[in-house]
Structure 1
Amino acid sequence: MPAESYDQLAIFSVVARERSFTRAAAKLGMSQPALSRTMRNLEERLGVRLLARTTRSVSATEAGERLLRVVTPRFEEINTELALLSEFRDKPAGTLRITAGEHPAITVLQPALAKILPNHPDIHIEVTVDYGLTDIVAEGYDAGVRLGEQVARDMIAVRIGPDVRMAVVGSPDYFARHRQPKSPRDLIRHNCITIRLPTYGGIFPWEFEKKGQELKVRVEGQLVFNNIAMRLDAALKGLGLAYMPEDLVQTHVKQGLLIRVLSDWCPLIPGYHLYYPSRRQSSPAFTVLRDTLHYLG
């Protein structure tokens, strides 16, 4: 196969993943006309249509999806082996892309990066905060960080933090106007500060457990946020109840700025894990990250 064909397949995989000629062109550093021309040439050479184009988006056809499933792991393997070439350098180097929820990004990743980066100036790390359950292989990430129960079984998972407990909190002003809930079911009568899940588009249900009884409550309220700071601020201002990681609200509870309720319904959850695809080897830069994050408990 000529080298041009490899280039076309690599470009096709980026377009199919990005679902946009504009984003793909920016990522590849080429013009949109050149990108479109490359895709037309590939389709003409193969004699099959790979991309369905509209004025607003691009998506892979059935044939395109089949081709993408074939070429993606091959390019992933090639990229992995290229990254391994850094083993021949004196110091670990390269860029690592990680997707993580906001809480572990702040409480686990940031402290680790403060240890890694000063000692390894050739390592570059890109962290994307995302509440969705990202397909790290399809999206080109080296690793992801999620709670242990959320990690897919086909991934290698390394524990990087202690168990986590959630907390339901509201301000004294809010509870001066509303009766405290005695059971998770009482939350349906409260103004709850919610978060929307990008993966499924729905509002994140609040999860509880007590004496083996599990409850998922689909709460409602006037506010929907996708970041921790705004949810915490809204709770402090008495705008509703928030469902937050315990460690982020403990100080406010001790200071009397927030009141915690339903604590007996909030059990420990398996802590955060670094997860990544099964590979024969890891790059030196990734090994540094993994070893620094590894939680011994």
Structure 2
Amino acid sequence: MERIPTHGIEVFLTIVREGSMRAAAAALGVGASAVSLQLKALEDRLGIELFFRTTRSVELTEAGKILFEAAAPAHRDLTYAFKKTREMARSTTGTLRLSLSRGAYMAALAPVLKAFLAENPGIKLEISWDEELVDINRQGFHGGIRMGDALSPDMIAVRITPPIKSVFFAAPSYLQAFGAPEHPRDLLDHQCIRHRHPTSGKLREWRVTEDGQDISIDPPARLIFDSAAGVIQAAREGHGIGWSMKATMADHLKTGELATLLEPFARDLPPFYLYFPKQNKRVECLRLLVNFMKTQLKERQRSNAEIAAER
């Protein structure tokens, strides 16, 4: 494909508008020799002269008139496009598209969403709940929220939560029928509901902490779902014991639909991160969300430290 010699077009158009190379140089803030050199380079690339030059003025040649008639409106459109693009990068209004799992929404975004929207009335969030990892570049998302162990290394990632509390859980009806496990090894004799990662196809590991050691357990699965929501729903229906982050079932624990199990062995999960491609770091709406989430994390950490000190 033939490359179009666009370098020097702005100089050419400025000469036409200002009426001389000296006036064009002043308008562009460069020396007259620089304007002359750029114009000559453009004419050399085109293979034809664009101006009749005299000591006092310049006049368009026929070729120059053809170029001006076509290039002037195109340059105006391009200038407008650049202006609007820059405004978008600096704008505090607009739509911010995010990809995240339901768990990420419940644990990381939902607790601060009302405050963020109130602080940034010009920003609209378009949220896609995706259990499966998606290509946020290809699908047009500005960013996403995932746990730190599920991030692509080519993304900018900002931690936005403390480590996430996990919990084993079951419905009272199940516990009444089968009893409650007292130790993680007891899970091997229970009906367990497991979660399979849609992206990797692997069953999510069940992990516990005992005597300061992080231990992985692999109980047999009576039911397997490709979403944490499915695990929670099946547990509510009394089909067995599940394991997930506590934030996703807080309401069910409050109502008594689900009960927590093996709490002394509960293990923290990795924190959530707000991540985005490098080219989006200058999007103002995204920068506002990043800074807001970082501030919320600091406030939460300070509050937790104060509570711990009082104890």
Secondary structure of the 1:92 match is coil
- Cα distance in 1, alignment partners of residues 153 and 143 from structure 2: 14
Contact 1:185 1:217 in 2 (8 A): no
- Cα distance in 2, alignment partners of residues 259 and 112 from structure 1: 26
What is the Cα-based RMSD across aligned positions, in Å?
A: 3.3
**Unaligned 5+ runs, structure 2:** 4-82, 302-311
Contact 1:83 1:94 in 2 (8 A): no
Equivalent residue, structure 2, for 1:209: 209
How many residue pairs align between the two structures? 219
| Deviation readout 1:132-170 (Å, 9 max, x if unpaired) | 233333433221111223333332221212221111111
Query: Is residue 232 of structure 2 the alignment partner of residue 232 of structure 1?
Result: yes
1:134–1:208: structure 2 CA closer, same or farther, 3 Å change rule?
farther
Contact 2:106 2:248 in 1 (8 A): no
Query: Is residue 150 of structure 2 the alignment partner of residue 132 of structure 1?
Result: no
Contact 1:205 1:219 in 2 (8 A): no
| Deviation readout 1:259-282 (Å, 9 max, x if unpaired) | 322223322223211012234842
Equivalent residue, structure 2, for 1:241: 241
- Cα distance in 1, alignment partners of residues 238 and 285 from structure 2: 45
Q: Using the TM superposition, give the Cα deviation of residue 252 of structure 1 relative to its aligned residue in structure 2, in angstroms.
A: 4.9
Task: Tell me the TM-score normalised to structure 1 length.
Answer: 0.61
**Unaligned 5+ runs, structure 1:** 4-80
Q: Using the TM superposition, give the Cα deviation of residue 102 of structure 1 relative to its aligned residue in structure 2, in angstroms.
A: 0.6
Task: Tell me the TM-score normalised to structure 2 length.
Answer: 0.59
Contact 1:166 1:244 in 2 (8 A): yes
Q: Using the TM superposition, give the Cα deviation of residue 250 of structure 1 relative to its aligned residue in structure 2, in angstroms.
A: 5.2
Over the matched positions of the two proteins, sequence identity in percent amounts to 26
Contact 1:84 1:283 in 2 (8 A): no
User: Aligned partner of 1:276: which letter?
Assistant: F
Query: Is residue 293 of structure 2 the alignment partner of residue 272 of structure 1?
Result: no
1:183–1:133: structure 2 CA closer, same or farther, 3 Å change rule?
farther
Equivalent residue, structure 2, for 1:167: 167
| Deviation readout 1:219-268 (Å, 9 max, x if unpaired) | 4123526252x533432332211213223445655665433222233222
Secondary structure of the 2:232 match is helix
Q: Using the TM superposition, give the Cα deviation of residue 204 of structure 1 relative to its aligned residue in structure 2, in angstroms.
A: 2.5
